[in-house]
Chain A
Amino acid sequence: MAPPPSMFPAPPDTEDALHGDTMVVNMGPSHPSTHGVLRLVLTLDGETIKAVQPHVGYLHRGMEKIAEGMTYNQFVPYTDRLDYLAPLSNNVAYILAVEKLLAITVPPRGQVIRVMCCEMARISAHLLWLGTGALDLGAATVFFHTFRERETLYNLIESLTGGRLTTSYTRVGGLSRDLPEGWTAQLGDFTGSFPKVLDELDSLLSRNRIWMNRTQGVGRISARDAIAMSMTGPSLRACGVAHDLRKTEPYSGYEAYEFDVPIGREGDAYDRYLVRLEEMRQSVRILDQALRRLPDGPVSVQDPKITLPQKERVLTSMEELIEQFMLVTEGIKGPLGEVYHAIEAPKGELGFYIRSEGDKSPYRLHIRSPSFINLQAIEKMAVGGLLSDLIAVIASLDPVMGEVDR
């Protein structure tokens, strides 16, 4: 890979007066289409992009460092703030890595609820991506449709976890609480009505001449390049690579669900759109199956060394009081070892590497965030294209800066 250009490139030979006279333009960190605080230093020749130099880190909060001073459960709220458009999915991803370290398997009901959480997160994240992505390209109508549906999902998430954005729903060994009464019926209503909305969105965009012209052939990347750049998620699948961690390395019982992995062919912005649209349909399928098979029983493991005892017992029994005190003050001690566990988050492979030195907090926690890795490819996708196409490229890559900067 060629080294990136300097911020102030030397003036080129001016043989051709129209071409070769480059200009450096700064885009971001607060630009409406960068979806957060992404800064791109562009070298332009007229409207053609000659070089892109991304600058990230504006939202860095030092999460990996913070984790080194916390118990495993205390870090869950921080994961909400990674990909803040799919907090439930981050909660599950992190806690599965901790449970792999501790060799814990959650009861079936807890697993099914986690699957529901992941798929709700995927739908809401894709809805936001579709709404804002279309808005960036001038299709404002889509935004209102997607946000109406997203609102329904957020109300469901709110009644489930108590928070709309900061869900912090998972705990080591299970979940913070069981489903509220009547919740499954509400989710059933949503999965019943949502496919119709998807058809509407489909009819608004998929054969829309303007949308097709703005996205087809834009930001194209080959499967070979995408793999070399470690891309994952819908952006990789749009290149025709049928890779989905829910199929290849199933977790939380995903192997028992029936769903398809949609793939694209061209690897352009249009295919990334189609893949995400179809993924929402598949998520609805998974949600329906999860609702049908939701078993009774506890949502968390019943082990006083891992999960908190029932509050009524804590107030009336000495033993449970001690157990709660020990768990809160001492935390859960991990064994010596290192684990990496990844899930198929809405943006791609979200992995947590945990190095444990036998303490109650990780010695090192490393977050493999899909947005960070996928964003590397922006150079490959944008160079040679037009400046206005860069908007479509960013939108179709769907980076979330909370996850990029951590």
Chain B
Amino acid sequence: MEGPFIEPQPPHALVDRLGERFPGAVLEVAEFRGELTVVVPKEKIVEIALFLRDDPWTAFDMLTVVTGIHFLQRDHDFEVLYHLYSLSKNHRLRLKIYLREGETVDSVTSVWPGANWPEREAYDLVGVRFHGHPDLRRIIMPEDYTDHPLRRDFDVEGGPSEVRPGGRRASPGFRDMESV
């Protein structure tokens, strides 16, 4: 392999600062390729987001994007990731929360208005529900769609490709056709 892969130094001080302000709120810290991921309790996400935005040391003024991930056969069904960036400090942090099916997480749109569409996307495609979101509608899929296509158990070949009234499947998928 050509040359060393230079890994930047992750901003560990951020985690210490977060731990000082919210004792016990830093559940896990992971570091990979110079990126820092902090798992926090989902109940405290808005408080922590506000602190990270307004604290002059952390100064995370921009929410880059919100990612939802669905898991099968784990202790948690969903992970929601908040990719944060600070324009003034030029550092990044990834906040992570765990969710179970049926649980909701508070929306961070009150902290970063830019979370509006990313949260709608995570709801639409993954099925994460954000409590207190001003406008939690589907954004990519049609409004009458019933499934969440980025879930791991979504049937790519037989999922509802077209939805008729009542959410009935319009056409059988490829797999169903084989048995016909």
Asked if A57 contacts B139 (CB within 8 A), the reply is: yes
**A339 interface residue (CB < 8 Å to B):** yes
Contact B62 A227 (CB under 8 A): yes
Judge if B87 is at the interface, Cβ distance under 8 Å.
yes
Say whether B2 contacts A65, CB under 8 Å.
no
B110 to chain A, nearest CB (A): 9
Q: Produce 1/0 per residue, A1-43, CB < 8 A to B.
A: 1111000000000000000000000000000000000000000
Nearest-CB residue, chain B, relative to A230: B114
With A64-B150, A340-B83, A372-B117: A230-B62 Cβ-Cβ less than 8 Å: yes
Quick check: B87 and A373 within 8 Å, CB to CB? no
- For residues 146 through 180 of chain B, which have their beta carbon under 8 Å from a beta carbon of chain A? 149-150, 154, 156
Q: Nearest Cβ distance between residue B170 and chain A, in whole angstroms?
A: 17
Stretch at the interface among B18-26, B32-40, B41-49, B97-105: B32-40
B33 with A105: CB separation less than 8 A: no
| Interfacial chain A residues near B140, Cβ < 8 Å | 56-57, 60, 405-406
Task: Give the nearest-CB partner of B145 in chain A.
Answer: A57
Point out the residues of chain A lying under 8 angstroms from B11, CB to CB.
none
- One digit per residue, 1 when the CB lies within 8 angstroms of any chain A CB and 0 when it does not, for chain B 115-158 equals 11110010001000000001100111110000001100010100
> Is the C-beta of B56 less than 8 angstroms from some C-beta in chain A?
no
Given contacts A3-B134, A338-B32, A338-B37, contact A62 B116 (CB under 8 A): no
User: In the bound complex, do residue A340 and residue B94 qualify as a contact, i.e. CB atoms below 8 Å apart?
Assistant: yes
Alpha-carbon distance between A64 and B149 when the two chains are bound, in angstroms: 10
Q: Which interface residue of A342, A364, A372, A373 has the most chain B CB atoms within 10 A?
A: A364
Question: Which B residues are CB-close (under 8 A) to A100?
Answer: 33
Q: A60-B140, A65-B150, A103-B33 are in contact. Are A1 and B134 (CB under 8 A)?
A: yes
Residues of B within 8 A of A248 (CB): 90
Check A229–B32 contact: CB distance below 8 A: no
| Complexed CA–CA distance, A351 and B67 (Å) | 12
A65 vs B4: C-alpha distance in the bound complex, in angstroms? 33
A56-B139, A65-B156, A368-B64 given as contacts; is B114 within 8 A of A373 (CB)? yes
Q: Is the CB of B112 within 8 A of A339?
A: no
Contact of A230 among B3, B4, B112, B134 (CB under 8 A): B112
Categorize the interface residue count of chain A: 35 or more
Check B95 for interface membership: any CB of A closer than 8 A: no
Contact A65 B154 (CB under 8 A): yes
The residue on B at minimum CB distance from A242 is B87
Bitwise interface map of A from 333 to 360 toward B, beta carbon under 8 Å scored 1, else 0: 0000111101000000101010100000
- Of A57, A69, A228, A340, the residue contacting B112 (CB under 8 A) is A228
Given A65-B150, A229-B113, A339-B32, verify A373-B65 contact (CB < 8 Å). Answer: yes
Q: List 19 A-B contacts (CB under 8 A).
A: A57-B141, A64-B150, A65-B150, A69-B156, A103-B33, A105-B1, A105-B4, A106-B2, A107-B2, A303-B1, A337-B32, A351-B65, A353-B65, A353-B67, A363-B69, A366-B67, A372-B117, A373-B118, A376-B114
B interface residues, Cβ below 8 angstroms from A: 1-6, 32-33, 35, 37, 61-65, 67, 69, 81, 83, 87, 90, 92, 94, 109, 112-118, 121, 125, 134-135, 138-142, 149-150, 154, 156
Q: A105-B1, A105-B5, A351-B64 are known contacts; what are 19 more A-B pairs with Cβ within 8 Å?
A: A2-B134, A3-B135, A4-B135, A60-B141, A64-B125, A64-B150, A103-B33, A107-B3, A227-B87, A228-B112, A228-B114, A230-B114, A230-B115, A301-B1, A302-B2, A338-B35, A340-B92, A353-B65, A353-B81
